[in-house]
Amino acid sequence: MVESADRVSAVRARHPSLPILAFLSIAVALVVLRLPSLIEPPTFNDEGTYSDIGWALDHGAVLYRDVWGHYTPGVYWLGAAINLVSTSVVAFHLVLSAAIALTAFAIWRFCRRYTSASIAWAASLAFVILSSLPTFEGDVLYVEAIGSVLAIWALVIVTRRAPVAGAPALTAGILAGAAMLFKPTFAADAVVVATAPAVIALASNRRPGRGETRALLWVVAGAAGVLAIAVVGLWLGGSLPGLIDVVTHQDEVYLQSASGGGGSSVAPGGGTGTILLLMTVSRIGVVLAAGSLITWLLARRQHVGASVAAWWLTWDLAAVVVSALGLAHYTQQLEPAACACAALAAARITRHIRLRVVVAAVATTVTGWVVCVVALLGPTAEASLAVPQQLSGFVTSITSPHVITHYLGSGWERILGVSTAKTYDAGFGPQPTLVRQTVALIDAHSRPGDRVFVWGRVPWAYSLSARLPAGRYTSLNSSYTLDHNAQTILIRELRAHPPAVLIEIDPLPAQVKAMLSELHYRRVASLANGEICWVAPRSA
Contacting residues for 338 by C-beta, under 8 A, at least 6 apart: 130, 313, 316, 367, 368, 371, 372
Query: What local confidence, expressed as pLDDT, does residue 269 receive?
Result: 54
Q: What's the longest Cα–Cα distance across the chain?
A: 84
Write out the H or E segment, with its range, that includes residue 182.
Answer: helix 166-182
Provide the CA 489 distance to its chain's centre, in angstroms. Answer: 28
List, for residues 317-350, the tens digit of each pLDDT value.
999 998 888 889 999 999 999 999 999 999 988 8
Q: Are residues 220 and 338 in the same domain?
A: yes
Q: Are residues 46 and 110 in the same domain?
A: no
The pTM score is: 0.91
Residues in a beta bridge with 501: 452, 535
Q: Are residues 351 and 444 in the same domain?
A: no
In a domain, 404, yes or no: no
Burial of 126-165, coded b for 16+ CB within 10 Å and e otherwise, reads bbbbbbbbbbbbbbbbbbbbbbbbbbbbbbbbbbeeebbe
242 neighbors 485 (Cβ within 8 angstroms): no
Per-residue pLDDT band for 513 (boundaries 50, 70, 90) equals very high
Of 353, 383, 413, the residue that ends a domain is 383
Instruction: Check pLDDT > 90 for residue 139.
Output: yes
In a domain, 408, yes or no: no
Per-residue pLDDT band for 124 (boundaries 50, 70, 90) equals very high
In a domain, 399, yes or no: no
Instruction: Check pLDDT > 70 for residue 260.
Output: no
List, for residues 409-449, the tens digit of each pLDDT value.
999 999 999 999 999 999 999 999 999 999 999 999 999 88
Per-residue pLDDT band for 9 (boundaries 50, 70, 90) equals very low
In a domain, 460, yes or no: yes
Q: Are residues 73 and 166 in the same domain?
A: no
- Average pLDDT over every residue of 8-37: 75
Domain hosting 235: range is 5-36+88-261+269-383
Q: What percentage of the chain exceeds 90 in pLDDT?
A: 73
Return the closest-CA partner of residue 193 out of 228, 227, 220, 166.
220
Split into its structural domains, the chain has a count of 2
503 neighbors 442 (Cβ within 8 angstroms): yes
In a domain, 373, yes or no: yes
How far apart are the C-alpha atoms of 325 and 229, rounded to whole Å? 31
Q: Are residues 344 and 465 in the same domain?
A: no
Q: Are residues 143 and 112 in the same domain?
A: yes
- Average pLDDT over every residue of 511-522: 95
List, for residues 65-89, the tens digit of each pLDDT value.
999 998 999 999 999 999 999 999 9
In a domain, 416, yes or no: no
Query: What local confidence, expressed as pLDDT, does residue 390 receive?
Result: 72
316 neighbors 334 (Cβ within 8 angstroms): yes
Residues in a beta bridge with 55: none
Sign of CA dihedral 21, 27, 28, 29: positive
Q: Are residues 147 and 189 in the same domain?
A: yes
Instruction: Check pLDDT > 90 for residue 257.
Output: no
How far apart are the C-alpha atoms of 176 and 223, rounded to whole Å? 6
Phi, psi angle pair for 298, to nearest 5°:
-65, -40
The one-letter amino acid at 225: G
In a domain, 221, yes or no: yes
Instruction: Check pLDDT > 70 for residue 510.
Output: yes
Of 383, 415, 450, the residue that ends a domain is 383
Query: What local confidence, expressed as pLDDT, does residue 350 receive?
Result: 82
- Average pLDDT over every residue of 36-61: 95
Total residue count of the chain as it appears in this document: 540
Q: Are residues 79 and 92 in the same domain?
A: no
On the CB side of 269, how many CA atoms lie within 13 Å of its CA? Answer: 3
Instruction: Check pLDDT > 50 for residue 8.
Output: no
Instruction: Check pLDDT > 90 for residue 164.
Output: no
Query: What local confidence, expressed as pLDDT, does residue 534 receive?
Result: 94
Of 383, 412, 440, the residue that ends a domain is 383
- Average pLDDT over every residue of 236-263: 74
Q: Are residues 350 and 464 in the same domain?
A: no
- Average pLDDT over every residue of 360-381: 94
List, for residues 383-404, the tens digit of each pLDDT value.
888 777 677 788 889 999 999 9
Q: Are residues 158 and 174 in the same domain?
A: yes
* Exposed/middle/buried for residue 429 (C-beta within 10 Å: 0-12, 13-18, 19+): exposed
Query: What local confidence, expressed as pLDDT, does residue 6 receive?
Result: 44
Query: Average model confidence (pLDDT) for the chain?
Result: 90
Q: Are residues 132 and 57 in the same domain?
A: no
Instruction: Check pLDDT > 80 for residue 270.
Output: no
In a domain, 394, yes or no: no
Q: What percentage of the chain exceeds 70 in pLDDT?
A: 91
Query: What local confidence, expressed as pLDDT, does residue 439 receive?
Result: 94
CA distances from 208 to 21, 173, 202 (A): 40, 19, 7
How far apart are the C-alpha atoms of 226 and 222, rounded to whole Å? 6
Query: What local confidence, expressed as pLDDT, does residue 275 receive?
Result: 80
Query: What local confidence, expressed as pLDDT, does residue 84 receive?
Result: 96
475 neighbors 58 (Cβ within 8 angstroms): no
Q: Are residues 288 and 303 in the same domain?
A: yes
